[in-house]
Amino acid sequence: MSIVLGQQSYTVSEFISVVKEILETDLSTVQVEGEVSNLSFSTSGHIYFSLVDRDALVSAVMFKSDFLRNPLARQLKDGAQVVVFGGVNVYQKRGTFQIVVRKLMLKGQGDLKEKFELLKKKLASEGLFNLERKKKIPTFPKKVALITAPNGAAVHDFVNIYSRRGVFIKIIVVPVLVQGEKAPSSIIKGLDLVLKYNRVNEADPCDVVVLARGGGSLEDLWAFNDETLAYKLCDYPVPTVSAIGHDVDFVLTDYVADLRAETPSAAAENLTKHQVEIVQKMAQLKRRLHDRMMLDLSAYQSKIEVLHPRKLIKHFWQFLTNYRTRLETCNLVYRGRDLVGISDFSLRLEEAIETLKVFMAKAIQVRVGQLDRLNGILEATSPRKVLERGYCLAKFQSKHVILSMSEFDKVDTNTTLSLVFHDGEGLVTKN
């Protein structure tokens, strides 16, 4: 299928590509206002919706990255009037287009934002934001006036922090309107009520005033951008804290007040931090004091136990007992029996030694007699004695003794024999 435009014919894909290029190039940045419809949140973090007016409808999408950068996107709901900023994207397969929203604001907020900036610039030029004129917040406030809606989340958050941190501060809640046309005058009346309270209670006045409100849109927080309220805070004699919305929300009271807190909870933490530090320091010192006392108590207890009279008596008694034992050991009267016993033993030892000498002499004499007898027998049987009586020994080759005639006959003729006498040897030849 093809379409003829002028002199050129396109396929469907080519035609959509041309339209896509034209729209995404010429309409890369658009600003469209309308009513939100068919709002849905995907699991991937993107949001899809339609912008409608009395006669038309256009699809829109805000991807996760842009959604996270636009806090107002979390407040979207069907029926909301918005102004969106973004570009046109063409889905080629279906031939449809949608607005890719990069930023949005609730309708009317553009005027409020401009009004806010103008008023902020005016008050700044008049010196309401100068740090030199701001009062110091007391380090240890004793009584805090909390100006807020009595049933709002700000009261709950502030009191919850106070209770959890366990500090000794009194809280007086001053109920006011925090949203709507009557809210600025209500807040101003609340400030006047605190001053009246301080005049009546001069001995125990409120030394800090906290303006508190939960988060919301620029329209919801507009009461705290009131010019009259800003001048009231500028001249207010009591130190003030502005705790409006969340950390991304800024209102004029944040700039005029003596201290800006990101949230009511942050205001409570800021006002109680010094008390908490003191309580923690006291707890630490208490632990250190207890440990030191227990250590000293243990040391003194040990000294007392050592110096106790019963302990001293026992010590001296052992001392005396030891010396008495040593004296008894050295006393000859007590040691006489032991000494006599030693003398008797010495005499018995000497007698035993003399007896042993006699016994050993007799034993040696007997052994000498036995030795002489055996020596005589040995001498009598000695071959040398036989030779002295006229005998001799015949040896063959100077080694083998010829003991019989049969052995002599076996010796070869002309063999040299050795004859051994008692006083020497001689050689003979067998014939």
Domain containing residue 149: CATH number: 3.40.50.280
* Exposure b/e, 271-299, CB count within 10 A at least 16 = b: bbeebeeeeeeeeeeeeeeeeeeeeeeee
Residue the block writes with tokens 């709507």: 180
Predicted confidence at residue 332, as pLDDT, reads 58
- Same domain for 140 and 258? yes
* CB-based contact 387:393 (threshold 8 Å): yes
Six token digits for residue 90: 């063409």
Q: Is residue 336 part of a domain?
A: no
- Reduced to 3 states (helix: H, G, I; strand: E, B; else coil), residue 324 is helix
- DSSP assignment, residue 137? P
pTM over 0.85, yes/no: no
Predicted confidence at residue 3, as pLDDT, reads 46
Predicted confidence at residue 54, as pLDDT, reads 80
Residues in the chain: 431
Q: How far apart are CA 123 and CA 125, in angstroms?
A: 5
Q: Greater confidence, 191 or 107?
A: 191
Give the residue numbers spanning the domain of 399: 384-429
Predicted confidence at residue 25, as pLDDT, reads 79
Q: Is residue 305 part of a domain?
A: no
How confident is the prediction for the chain on average, in pLDDT? 83
Q: Is residue 154 part of a domain?
A: yes
Strands 143-148, 170-175: parallel, antiparallel or unpaired by DSSP? parallel
Q: Is residue 401 part of a domain?
A: yes
Provide the domain count of the chain: 3
Q: Is residue 102 part of a domain?
A: yes
Predicted confidence at residue 338, as pLDDT, reads 62
Residue 4: pLDDT band with limits 50, 70, 90? very low
- DSSP assignment, residue 308? -
Mean pLDDT of 162-174: 82
Residue 398: left if φ>0, alpha if ψ -120 to 50, beta else—which one? Answer: left
Q: How far apart are CA 354 and CA 207, in angstroms?
A: 118
pLDDT at 188 over 90: yes
pLDDT at 156 over 70: yes
- Same domain for 391 and 253? no
Q: Which of 246, 276, 306 is the last residue of a domain?
A: 276
Six token digits for residue 291: 């440990």
Give the rounded percent of residues in the chain with a pLDDT score beyond 70. 93
Q: Greater confidence, 383 or 232?
A: 232
Amino acid at 344: D
Q: Is residue 57 part of a domain?
A: yes
Q: Greater confidence, 23 or 331?
A: 23
- Same domain for 99 and 131? no
Q: Is residue 338 part of a domain?
A: no
Six token digits for residue 304: 């007392």
- Same domain for 53 and 146? no
Residue 323: pLDDT band with limits 50, 70, 90? confident
Residue 259: pLDDT band with limits 50, 70, 90? very high
- Same domain for 127 and 268? yes
7-20 pLDDT per residue, tens: 567 788 878 788 88
Predicted confidence at residue 197, as pLDDT, reads 93
Q: Is residue 296 part of a domain?
A: no
- Same domain for 229 and 130? yes
- Same domain for 174 and 139? yes
Predicted confidence at residue 255, as pLDDT, reads 93
- Same domain for 247 and 189? yes
pLDDT at 308 over 60: yes
Q: Which of 276, 293, 314 is the last residue of a domain?
A: 276
Predicted confidence at residue 1, as pLDDT, reads 41
pLDDT at 397 over 80: no
260-286 pLDDT per residue, tens: 998 888 888 888 888 888 888 888 999
- Same domain for 29 and 169? no
- Same domain for 60 and 95? yes
Q: How far apart are CA 338 and CA 332, in angstroms?
A: 9
- Same domain for 141 and 202? yes
- Same domain for 155 and 193? yes
Predicted confidence at residue 192, as pLDDT, reads 94
Q: Which of 276, 307, 334 is the last residue of a domain?
A: 276
Residue 335: pLDDT band with limits 50, 70, 90? low
* CB-based contact 251:242 (threshold 8 Å): yes
